[in-house]
Chains A and B, each alone.
Chain A
Amino acid sequence: MEKTLFKFIWRYSKRDQIILLILTAISFPFLYLSLDLPKTIINKAIGGKDVPEEIFGMTVDQIDYLLILSGAFLALVFVNGGFKFYVNVFRGQLGERMLRRLRYSLLARVLRFPLPQFKKVSQGEVIQMVNSEVEPLGGFVGDSIALPAFQGGTLLTILIFMFIQDWMLGLAAIALYPIQGYIIPKLQWHVNQLGKKRVRNVRVLAEKIGEAVSGIEEVHANDGARRILARFTERLGVIYDIRYEIFRRKFFIKFLNNFIAQLTPFFFYSIGGYLVIKGDLTFGALVAILAAYKDLSAPWKELLTYYQRLADSRIKYDQVIEQFDPQGIWPENYQMAEIEADFSLAGNVSAGNLSILDEESQPIVEKLSFDISKSEHIALTGPSSGGKDLATILMARLLAPDSGQIVVAGKQIADLPEAATGRYMGYIGPNAFVFNATLKENILLGAMHRPISTEGELNEDLKNAQLSGNSLDDLGAEWLDYNAIGVDSDAGLQKRLIELLQVVDLDVDVYSMGLRSTVDGFDDDQLLEQILTARKKFRERLDKSDISNFVESFDKEVFNSNASVAENLLFGTPKGDSFNSENIGTNAYVVEILERVDLKDEFIRIGRDVASTMVELFADLPSDHEYFSQYSFISSEDLPEFQTLLARSERLGLENMSTEDSNQFLSLPFKLIPARHRLDLITNDIQKRILEARKLFAEEIGDELRDEIEFFEAGHYNRSSSIQDNILFGKIALDKANAIEEVNHLVTEIIDQENLRPMIINAGLNSQAGLAGSRLSQGQRQKLSIARALLRRPDHLILNEATSSLDSGSQTIVMSNLLSEMKDRNVTWALQRASLAENFDRVLVLSGGQVVEDGSFQDLVKKEDSVINDLLREE
């Protein structure tokens, strides 16, 4: 990375800066002409002195001459404006390009930070630096050379013009410049220092914010919010003080500048006026000089602002750069170099004399040596700080040892690019990270290292990327390495993914995610047909069984007592927000339908009864009680309001309440599920009228609301409902014991009979994992990460307590599946519990950063005083 801002600018934008300079230089003669022309117009054309008789061979009188000169002036205005416009656009583009380059190179460096660096620099700081701190640099880069040249040149042109008119006035115009030139930098220096301080403090704030967000559970669990807020307040206070100081000083500088600039006209009026009266200077020249002086203040101001920005940008650049140049940053080759087609790491592993020092230069791993043969399954175990985790991290080359070396298949891994270690080895740590994408995308990341097919021509976007020194890899190209996975088609990939899910014991989970997911987005009509067949078969089977009443099917003509009143009325799934449970009670169309079947008043009455029950049941509970979210129709915040409403309805009677008040009750009945809530409010008569409303609702729905709902239809797949709901096409009876288990069991049976399981797992694979995999449990995240590493069939699979969050049943399954999946290939597994080592070919016990025992589990256990026996006893 270039050490100074100007080195960076010069290295990457030399050509553009020179073009800008040339453009600027060309524009000056025009500028000079546009300054000089007014004098000629006033003195010659208007004053009538020396009007030439002919121009370009045409005879002209004074008026013609005036018009020609004015026309020329207009043309010059256009030319100057055009230059300015073109230069500005060019400069802006250059600035953006350089900002893009700078951001990219910072990000690229973050990816090459040695891992320990992340203990020193927080996520918040990195984001702050890359996003906000470098932003103003972009604008500055475009201006860095051209602006002083342009404004300086303009200034000079104007000054030359003035000096030619009258040297004394010229001198007067710049008389105060030396004073400004001396004082301003001195004042500016203080501002710069404050600027540096501000940058540092904002970074600390960013870090503290990041910390509060990541540690939010701890904050709540330890009642730490007030302390955190106090800390923020302190930080914001420091920043406030600095910023205030900066403003004060900046505005003082501005004040000084303006004051000095206003002093100069004093000289013009006095000296210039004197000269005109004496006849030493023409009146036209004085007007021209005054006009020129007006133009003079703009570039001078620009130059002074430029000076401030220059100082600012330098600080920012220096402060950012020093953070992105840590010791031991990996060379670019590690990530960019490719490997030969026949590359392989299949072979023995030999680690010799590995040492790692901690921050105080104390060894935490010392002279660690071990040998692992090509197809061995090795368990690493030992006390928690014994070094087994570091051994795996070193082997996966995520950390470079301070001394010693690891040789895999005859190759020094320290010299290999990530293309080798990241493809032919697989590493899974305890904090398995899952990205905010679908499960499938997360797994496929394990075999997406580079674009497989690249077109010869770069497209427009990539050409732009090239101009900014960004990555030339096309994100839209095919990245998935089918060869590495060992499949040749999408169908094969699909099969392999399901196999992998089975290996990591995630298939059942993904299957149930699939059942709960909607298939919106994939367009295989045949599959949807199959689900409809499953729906039919399911109902047939159900009718034949003795649990036929466990599912209450949707029937256009029948009220479904296991569905909510809203669902009964809509008889469909809301797609947008218009009819969702929050809005349905206030939706104008719904209310209109209720009115037409004489239900509105009934609903208000029912709503009043619901409200009164809720108040009776929940008024005594503390407002944060979980029952409010689980059971109450009215939130704890709204409860007091409903208490008032109820009192009012008691006093006035429902009919006499204002419409606004009574409408508050209107939305409550929609949430009622008669079979569940058992309030006996939805009588047979009401049910009948809801059915009428249902019919009317569907018949008269307008075009703009038609897209807000997808109706239930027996022969139609409902894309807004889950796959499971589509198969059920009804509601599970809430009051039948074991109904959910029995029905799920039957659904699964039908699905397997219809061979729908792979398709449903696929739907599950397409569901979102959430931010940092938040929709999955820690155990599921670990399993997903293992599948990701297995996908590319690595020669060595390295696990570092990678199944620590699995329950012991699942752990046994995953371990035995993994070991047979990796038959004939090396597995090196740092175990959280020594007893798990029994399933491995050989056990290495690490303690104090060294191998203290090495042998088969059985042999080691036989020795009474062995470390592994101590470990086993402690479990």
Chain B
Amino acid sequence: MSLNKEVEVLRDVPLFSKIDHTKLKLLAFTSEKLIHQDGQFLFREGETGDAAYIVLQGKVAVFIQTEKGPVEVAQLKRGDVVGEISILCDVPRTASVKAVESVQTLKITKDTFIHLLTEFPEIAIEIMRELASRLNKTNIQLREALTD
């Protein structure tokens, strides 16, 4: 997959939707594209994380460790982001992510991401807006859950 196609995928990621095309291209250019084989882990629960992954092609499965063993909680596909929390704050991985077929991802390291934010503060504002809207959504869900 070429850089330009990767940028198209990035455009569809809600977190990046408002970000200028050139900046997305820079983000893609300074990031590694990785292929994970079927069954290979992107990362495991409890590890310290330093990168987020954007799925470019294929599917990944998200697992959470329970008393009865790992339980699959979600499957993610093209345009989805995993592990983004750990490039924003230092928390261990909250879930394991595994490739369920051959998967192409763009690995965005914490350093790359922070660079992007410091160089282009307008991106930071976009990210904040996105995070705030997520928080709002969570609040609404929480309220609904409490009133149920």
**A interface residues with partner B (beta carbon < 8 Å):** 546, 613, 616-618, 620-622, 625, 627, 630-631, 677-680, 734-738
Stretch at the interface among B21-29, B63-71, B88-96, B137-145: B21-29
For A734, the chain B residues whose CB sits under 8 A away are 32
Known: A625-B119, A627-B115, A679-B3. A737 touches B26 (CB 8 A): no
For A627, the chain B residues whose CB sits under 8 A away are 30, 115
Whether the Cβ atoms of B29 and A735 lie closer than 8 Å is no
For A546, the chain B residues whose CB sits under 8 A away are 37
Known: A616-B25, A679-B2. A737 touches B34 (CB 8 A): yes
Q: How far is the CA of A38 from the CA of B76 in the complex (A)?
A: 114
Q: How far is the CA of A631 from the CA of B26 in the complex (A)?
A: 10
Tell me if B42 counts as interface (CB < 8 A to partner A). Answer: yes
Q: How far is the CA of A625 from the CA of B118 in the complex (A)?
A: 11
Which B residues, 1 to 15, have Cβ-Cβ distances below 8 Å to chain A?
1-4, 6
Q: How far is the CA of A678 from the CA of B34 in the complex (A)?
A: 12
Whether the Cβ atoms of A678 and B35 lie closer than 8 Å is no
Interface of B is mostly: mixed
Q: How far is the CA of A631 from the CA of B25 in the complex (A)?
A: 13
Known: A679-B3, A680-B2, A737-B40. A616 touches B22 (CB 8 A): yes
**New A-B pairs, 13, CB < 8 Å, besides A625-B119, A679-B2, A737-B35:** A613-B29, A616-B25, A631-B29, A677-B3, A677-B29, A678-B2, A678-B6, A680-B3, A680-B4, A735-B35, A737-B36, A737-B40, A738-B40
Whether the Cβ atoms of B22 and A617 lie closer than 8 Å is yes
Q: What would be 16 A-B contacts, judged by CB atoms less than 8 Å apart?
A: A546-B37, A613-B25, A616-B22, A617-B29, A620-B119, A622-B119, A625-B119, A678-B6, A678-B33, A680-B2, A680-B3, A680-B4, A735-B35, A737-B36, A737-B40, A738-B40
Whether the Cβ atoms of B32 and A735 lie closer than 8 Å is yes
For B22, the chain A residues whose CB sits under 8 A away are 616-617, 620
Shortest 3 CB-CB contacts between residues of A and residues of B: A680-B2, A737-B34, A678-B3
Q: How far is the CA of A502 from the CA of B110 in the complex (A)?
A: 35
Whether the Cβ atoms of B119 and A621 lie closer than 8 Å is yes
For B2, the chain A residues whose CB sits under 8 A away are 678-680
For A680, the chain B residues whose CB sits under 8 A away are 2-4
Q: How far is the CA of A630 from the CA of B25 in the complex (A)?
A: 16
User: Across the two chains, which residue of chain A brings its CB closest to B33?
Assistant: A735
For A625, the chain B residues whose CB sits under 8 A away are 119
For B119, the chain A residues whose CB sits under 8 A away are 620-622, 625
Whether the Cβ atoms of A736 and B35 lie closer than 8 Å is yes
User: Across the two chains, which residue of chain A brings its CB closest to B23?
Assistant: A620
Q: How far is the CA of A631 from the CA of B35 in the complex (A)?
A: 21
Q: How far is the CA of A678 from the CA of B22 in the complex (A)?
A: 16
Whether the Cβ atoms of A617 and B25 lie closer than 8 Å is yes
Q: How far is the CA of A613 from the CA of B119 in the complex (A)?
A: 19
Q: How far is the CA of A618 from the CA of B29 in the complex (A)?
A: 11
Which B residues, 107 to 148, have Cβ-Cβ distances below 8 Å to chain A?
115, 119-120
Whether the Cβ atoms of B34 and A736 lie closer than 8 Å is yes
Interface centre among A678, A737, A738 (most CB of B within 10 A): A737
Select which of A622, A678, A736 is within 8 A of B1 by beta carbon. A678
For B104, the chain A residues whose CB sits under 8 A away are 735
CB distance from A705 to the nearest CB of B (A): 34
CB distance from A639 to the nearest CB of B (A): 14
Q: How far is the CA of A738 from the CA of B40 in the complex (A)?
A: 10
Select which of B4, B25, B42 is within 8 A of A737 by beta carbon. B42
Whether the Cβ atoms of B34 and A735 lie closer than 8 Å is yes
Q: How far is the CA of A431 from the CA of B9 in the complex (A)?
A: 53
CB distance from B78 to the nearest CB of A (A): 17
Q: How far is the CA of A679 from the CA of B29 in the complex (A)?
A: 9
For A622, the chain B residues whose CB sits under 8 A away are 119
For A678, the chain B residues whose CB sits under 8 A away are 1-3, 6, 33
Q: How far is the CA of A736 from the CA of B105 in the complex (A)?
A: 10
CB distance from B27 to the nearest CB of A (A): 10
CB distance from A505 to the nearest CB of B (A): 24
CB distance from A616 to the nearest CB of B (A): 6
For A618, the chain B residues whose CB sits under 8 A away are 26
Return the CB mask of B45-78 against A: 1 if under 8 Å, else 0. 0000000000000000000000000000000000
CB distance from B97 to the nearest CB of A (A): 12
Q: How far is the CA of A737 from the CA of B4 in the complex (A)?
A: 21
User: Across the two chains, which residue of chain B brings its CB closest to A626?
Assistant: B115
CB distance from B52 to the nearest CB of A (A): 14
Interface centre among A622, A627, A630, A677 (most CB of B within 10 A): A627
User: Across the two chains, which residue of chain A brings its CB closest to B99?
Assistant: A737
For A738, the chain B residues whose CB sits under 8 A away are 40
For B40, the chain A residues whose CB sits under 8 A away are 737-738
Q: How far is the CA of A766 from the CA of B1 in the complex (A)?
A: 43
Q: How far is the CA of A677 from the CA of B4 in the complex (A)?
A: 11
CB distance from B86 to the nearest CB of A (A): 17
For A620, the chain B residues whose CB sits under 8 A away are 22, 119-120
CB distance from A378 to the nearest CB of B (A): 40
For A679, the chain B residues whose CB sits under 8 A away are 2-3
For A631, the chain B residues whose CB sits under 8 A away are 29-30
Interface centre among B25, B29, B32 (most CB of A within 10 A): B29
Q: How far is the CA of A613 from the CA of B120 in the complex (A)?
A: 19
User: Across the two chains, which residue of chain A brings its CB closest to B3?
Assistant: A678
Q: How far is the CA of A622 from the CA of B119 in the complex (A)?
A: 9
Q: How far is the CA of A618 from the CA of B104 in the complex (A)?
A: 26
Q: How far is the CA of A550 from the CA of B6 in the complex (A)?
A: 22
User: Across the two chains, which residue of chain A brings its CB closest to B22?
Assistant: A616
CB distance from B6 to the nearest CB of A (A): 7
CB distance from A226 to the nearest CB of B (A): 27
CB distance from A610 to the nearest CB of B (A): 12
Q: How far is the CA of A734 from the CA of B1 in the complex (A)?
A: 14
For B26, the chain A residues whose CB sits under 8 A away are 617-618
For B42, the chain A residues whose CB sits under 8 A away are 737
User: Across the two chains, which residue of chain A brings its CB closest to B1?
Assistant: A678
For B36, the chain A residues whose CB sits under 8 A away are 737
For A736, the chain B residues whose CB sits under 8 A away are 34-35
Q: How far is the CA of A631 from the CA of B32 in the complex (A)?
A: 12
Q: How far is the CA of A627 from the CA of B35 in the complex (A)?
A: 24
CB distance from A34 to the nearest CB of B (A): 85
CB distance from B9 to the nearest CB of A (A): 13
For B6, the chain A residues whose CB sits under 8 A away are 678
Q: How far is the CA of A546 from the CA of B38 in the complex (A)?
A: 12
Q: How far is the CA of A630 from the CA of B1 in the complex (A)?
A: 22
Q: How far is the CA of A738 from the CA of B44 in the complex (A)?
A: 14
User: Across the two chains, which residue of chain B brings its CB closest to A738?
Assistant: B40
Q: How far is the CA of A631 from the CA of B116 in the complex (A)?
A: 14
CB distance from B17 to the nearest CB of A (A): 20
CB distance from B20 to the nearest CB of A (A): 10
For A613, the chain B residues whose CB sits under 8 A away are 25, 29
Q: How far is the CA of A631 from the CA of B6 in the complex (A)?
A: 18
Q: How far is the CA of A627 from the CA of B25 in the complex (A)?
A: 14
For B33, the chain A residues whose CB sits under 8 A away are 678, 735
CB distance from B61 to the nearest CB of A (A): 16
CB distance from B21 to the nearest CB of A (A): 9
Q: How far is the CA of A734 from the CA of B40 in the complex (A)?
A: 16
User: Across the two chains, which residue of chain B brings its CB closest to A679?
Assistant: B3
For B37, the chain A residues whose CB sits under 8 A away are 546, 737
Q: How far is the CA of A583 from the CA of B106 in the complex (A)?
A: 33
Q: How far is the CA of A736 from the CA of B36 in the complex (A)?
A: 7
Q: How far is the CA of A616 from the CA of B36 in the complex (A)?
A: 30
Q: How far is the CA of A631 from the CA of B3 in the complex (A)?
A: 14
Q: How far is the CA of A678 from the CA of B1 in the complex (A)?
A: 7
Q: How far is the CA of A613 from the CA of B35 in the complex (A)?
A: 24
Q: How far is the CA of A735 from the CA of B30 in the complex (A)?
A: 14
User: Across the two chains, which residue of chain B brings its CB closest to A622?
Assistant: B119
User: Across the two chains, which residue of chain A brings its CB closest to B104?
Assistant: A735
Q: How far is the CA of A148 from the CA of B22 in the complex (A)?
A: 82
Q: How far is the CA of A546 from the CA of B37 in the complex (A)?
A: 10
Q: How far is the CA of A617 from the CA of B27 in the complex (A)?
A: 9
User: Across the two chains, which residue of chain A brings its CB closest to B20?
Assistant: A620
For A621, the chain B residues whose CB sits under 8 A away are 119
For A735, the chain B residues whose CB sits under 8 A away are 32-35, 104
CB distance from B48 to the nearest CB of A (A): 17
